[in-house]
Every structure is written in structure tokens, then in C-alpha cells.
Amino acid sequence: MIDVLNELRALEKGLASAPQSLEQIRQGNPLLWQELAWSPAQTRLWLRSLPDIQIHEQEADDPSYRLGNKESAPMDLGDAIAKVVAELGRPVPIAQLRSKLPPGTVATDPMIRAAIEGHPALTITGPMVRLAKT
């Protein structure tokens, strides 16, 4: 049995360095796709869901996929929440945070709460999230 999560992360790193077609991706990792039991259509859907994915020759039967070059590491959830609260300039109800996060940010309420509690610039007061006093 293989470590599927680590294999998927390694595949993402490979896509950041060079574009690959769906056929190359599937042929390069046969045990991964066998373990996941994903069809080529499911693999394509996963690829399209990756943040910063660039799809070259989209109209072709087998387009190539590459992750965009990031100048810096992706913003973590706590940083994204702190940015939202700072931009609004007021406390924000936890229930409204998810809709105010950057597009493409996927987070559940427990993930949001954990990110707030683990971020030094944020504090929770009742249902509100505010910037911590320094």
C-alpha cells in the first residue's frame, strides 16, 4: 500500500517544474491511480481543481498541465483571515469569514476556528474575530 497523499503532493511538485499531459501523469504513477481507483476523467477533474493550475492546449485530446510559478509560498488560512479582518477594519463574525476569504480558499468552520486560534495576530471574542492587541 502506498502513501497516497505524499504521492499526490510529489506529483504536484513535479507539475510545478514541468508540464505533463494526462497520459504522462497516469503512466508515470500507475500504482497511485490503481490505489485511488480513479478513471482518467477523475484524474482530470482533480488536476483542474488544483490552485494555480495552467492548462495548455485545452482543446486538444490530451492537454498538458502545469502548476503556475509562485513567487512565494501560498498564504495560510490564518494569514488570509487576518488580512480580511484588517481590510474590513472591524471585528468579523466567524460565520461570515468563509464568504470573505480569497476565491479558491476551501475551509470548514473547524479549520477556520483552528487557524484563528493558532494565529498570533487574531483573537476570538464570542462569535467575533478581531485583530489581537499588540
Q: What residue numbers bound the domain in which 21 lies? A: 4-67
CA–CA distance, 25 with 51 (Å, rounded to integer): 17
Give tens-digit pLDDT for 45-54: 899 888 888 8
CA–CA distance, 33 with 71 (Å, rounded to integer): 30
Q: Is residue 95 part of a domain?
A: yes
| 59 and 84 part of one domain | no
Question: What are the start-end ranges of the E strands in the chain?
Answer: 20-21, 53-56, 64-67, 92-93, 122-125, 128-131
| 35 and 59 part of one domain | yes
**Least confident among 59-68, 94-103, 114-123:** 59-68
Question: What is the model's pTM?
Answer: 0.50
Number of independent structural domains in the chain: 2
pLDDT of residue 53: 86
Surface-to-core class of residue 15, CB atoms within 10 Å of its CB (0-12 exposed, 13-18 middle, 19+ buried): buried
pLDDT of residue 72: 41
CA–CA distance, 121 with 61 (Å, rounded to integer): 48
| 60 and 83 part of one domain | no
